Amino acid sequence: MRAYNFFVIVLLCVFIFLVDAAAYYWLLSILEIIPSSFLTTLIKILFWFFTFGLISAILILKLSLSYIDPSRRQRLISSMYGLTVSSFIPKIVFVVIISLLHYSNYIFSDSQSVIWVSIAGLVAGFLPFFVIVYATLKGLYRFKVYNITLKNEALKNLRIIQISDLHLGSFRSQYKVFDRAIKMINDLEPDFIFFTGDLVNNYAWELKGWEDSFKNLVAKRGKYAVLGNHDYGDYSVWPSPEEKQTNFEAIKGFFNEIGFTLLLNEAETVIVNFQEVAIVGVENWGKPPFKQYGDLPKALSNVTDVSTKILLSHDPSHWKEEVLNHPDIFLTLSGHTHGMQAGVSIAGKQWSPIKYKYREWAGLYQENNQFLYVNRGLGWMGFPGRLGMRPEITCIDFE
């Protein structure tokens, strides 16, 4: 999880205060219709109590992060993230809507219309609050299978399952929840299971107790994995380089425990339909500030004569930057973006704010005879919710 400096956190708190001050200004017009002075005073007190309580909690958490146990730290950050979003966004909507309604009807702004404009703004503010609550309580683990069909003679009749971005620390040891996804995967009877990175948020201790769940995953031909940017421990401050390396080795070792072949800038060949197919895996390769551990030429070095290749590469930006220069890589599987865990999908069209950062951010993309599939992630990071971007199990059939 990205660490923001104290100045950025202070700016966030100032912004929260300004939005709350604007919301309070419009709230006063609503309170005029309440006859009880005691009730209106209580609402005002509670309003500012929550505002200053939230700001204080954010600042205290930032100042005390280094003294908090890492396992508890992640839970506190996620909870604070969720609380801030569920408070902040509805107030933003409330202020914007009520301001537009008020000033567009300024010429008619008698006392009665002010009251109705204020109520309309309040209702508009509550709607996103309930949407966020739904995203947090219901949307987070509504696993969905996305079915894709591709044509490739060498891979004909093959079925592969892709999962990505588990972020197991965010599951908070809810093994039974994840077991639902495992059953969905096994019911598809895949030939191969591919995992495309971000097993954890930062730490190897997040893996505790997950062995049995992963060992239940069944693939007829094999299970392969690569690392994501969160699997290197780069987002934590370590007492020494040795401790960071120990953490990293434990994460890599976990794949071996659960029966996955971890590909670290390397490839393996398998026989499909009496032909060789290369399964290639690179370490994380991303645009700055993400580090580029990936070495595609090295990964391809021993499979240059294999004409059909499937590449596992965590970050989809790698595809256009480097992968397309290798036309024998038929399919690239990536994750990383989570689809921002929020988006809209209507009539086959999808949109998410993440599209303004990543050109390829969810679903299938094609360039000439090469394909990229970006998985929306099965876990979550940061905001503890998903809205219009369900946690994904990708099922790809070849014909």
Q: Which residue has the higher pLDDT, 92 or 375?
A: 375
Locate the DSSP E strands across 13-152: 144-150
**Is the Cβ–Cβ distance between 336 and 376 less than 8 Å?**
no
pLDDT tens-digit map of 171-209: 988 999 999 999 999 999 999 999 999 999 999 999 999
What's the pTM value of the predicted model, to 2 decimals? 0.85
Q: Which of the four pLDDT bands, split at 50, 70 and 90, describes residue 67?
A: confident
Q: Which of the four pLDDT bands, split at 50, 70 and 90, describes residue 268?
A: very high
Q: Which CATH superfamily is domain 141-398 in?
A: Metallo-dependent phosphatases (3.60.21.10)
Which among 342, 381, 317, 313 is positioned nearest to 166, based on CA atoms?
A: 381
- Quick one: what percent of the chain has pLDDT higher than 70? 94
What distance in Å separates the CA atoms of residue 296 and residue 294, rounded to the nearest whole number? 6
Lowest mean pLDDT of 105-114, 211-220, 373-382, name the range.
105-114
Which among 22, 12, 15 is positioned nearest to 93, based on CA atoms?
A: 22
Can you tell me the mean pLDDT for 285-302? 95
What distance in Å separates the CA atoms of residue 77 and residue 172, rounded to the nearest whole number? 13
How far from 320 is each of 13, 120, 225, CA to CA, in Å? 38, 47, 21
Q: Phi-psi category of 175—alpha, beta or left, where left has phi over 0 and alpha has psi -120 to 50?
A: alpha
Helix, strand or coil, per DSSP, at residue 350: strand
pLDDT tens-digit map of 369-385: 999 999 999 999 988 99
What distance in Å separates the CA atoms of residue 386 and residue 113, rounded to the nearest whole number? 37
Q: Which of the four pLDDT bands, split at 50, 70 and 90, describes residue 365?
A: very high
**Is the Cβ–Cβ distance between 285 and 313 less than 8 Å?**
yes
Domain boundaries, the chain: 6-137, 141-398
Residue 387 scores a pLDDT above 60:
yes
